[in-house]
C-alpha cells in the first residue's frame, strides 16, 4: 500500500509539472510520467494480491472461530455461558456476512 501511494503521488507531481513545463521539457517529463504510471500499475497489482491474501487469512481465522464457538456451545451446560457463546457466534456470523457483502459490492 505504501509503494502504491508513493507511486500515485509521483504520477500526480509529474502531471502537475507537465502542465507548467516549457515545450522543450515536455518530452522528458512525458517519458518520466510513462515510467511512473507503469510503476503505479505494478504497485497496485501487488497491493491487490496482498489484500486478497490478508482477506483469505482473516476468513480462515473467522471460520475456525465459528467452529470453536459451535463446539463449545454444544458442550456447554451453564445457561449463562451458552448465552454468551450464542452471542459470540452470531456476532462472528454477522462479520462474515458483512465481509461477503463488502466484497460483492462494486468499488
Tell me what the mean pLDDT of segment 69-87 comes to: 93
Whole-model pTM: value is: 0.50
CA distance to 8, 56, 65, 89, per residue, from 12 (Å): 6, 32, 44, 46
Among 13-17, 64-68, 100-104, the minimum mean pLDDT is found in 100-104
| Residue 28, domain extent | 2-104
Site of grid cell 518530452: 27
Q: Please report which confidence band the pLDDT of residue 67 belongs to, taking 50, 70 and 90 as the band edges.
A: very high
Cα-based angle 47, 51, 52 (whole degrees, multiple of 5) = 120
Instruction: Give the whole-angstrom CA distance, residue 15 versus residue 2.
Output: 20
**Which of 81 and 103 is assigned the larger pLDDT?**
81
Comparing C-alpha atoms, which of 65, 60, 64 is closest to residue 88? 65
Q: Please report which confidence band the pLDDT of residue 107 belongs to, taking 50, 70 and 90 as the band edges.
A: low
- The confidence score (pLDDT) of residue 46 equals 86
The count of domains in the chain is 1
Among 20-24, 50-54, 65-69, 76-80, the minimum mean pLDDT is found in 50-54
Instruction: Give the whole-angstrom CA distance, residue 33 versus residue 79.
Output: 65
Residue 53 CA to its chain's centroid (Å): 9
Residues 47 and 59: beta-carbon distance below 8 Å: no
Amino acid at each position: 500500500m505504501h509503494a502504491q501511494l508513493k507511486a500515485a503521488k509521483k504520477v500526480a507531481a509529474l502531471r502537475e509539472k507537465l502542465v507548467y513545463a516549457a515545450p522543450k521539457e515536455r518530452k522528458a517529463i512525458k517519458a518520466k510520467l510513462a515510467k511512473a504510471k507503469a510503476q503505479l500499475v505494478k504497485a497496485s497489482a501487488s497491493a491487490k494480491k496482498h489484500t486478497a491474501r490478508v482477506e483469505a487469512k482473516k476468513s480462515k481465522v473467522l471460520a475456525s472461530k465459528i467452529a470453536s464457538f459451535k463446539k463449545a456451545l454444544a458442550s456447554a451446560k451453564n445457561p449463562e455461558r451458552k448465552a454468551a457463546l450464542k452471542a459470540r457466534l452470531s456476532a462472528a456470523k454477522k462479520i462474515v456476512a458483512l465481509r461477503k457483502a463488502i466484497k460483492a459490492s462494486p468499488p
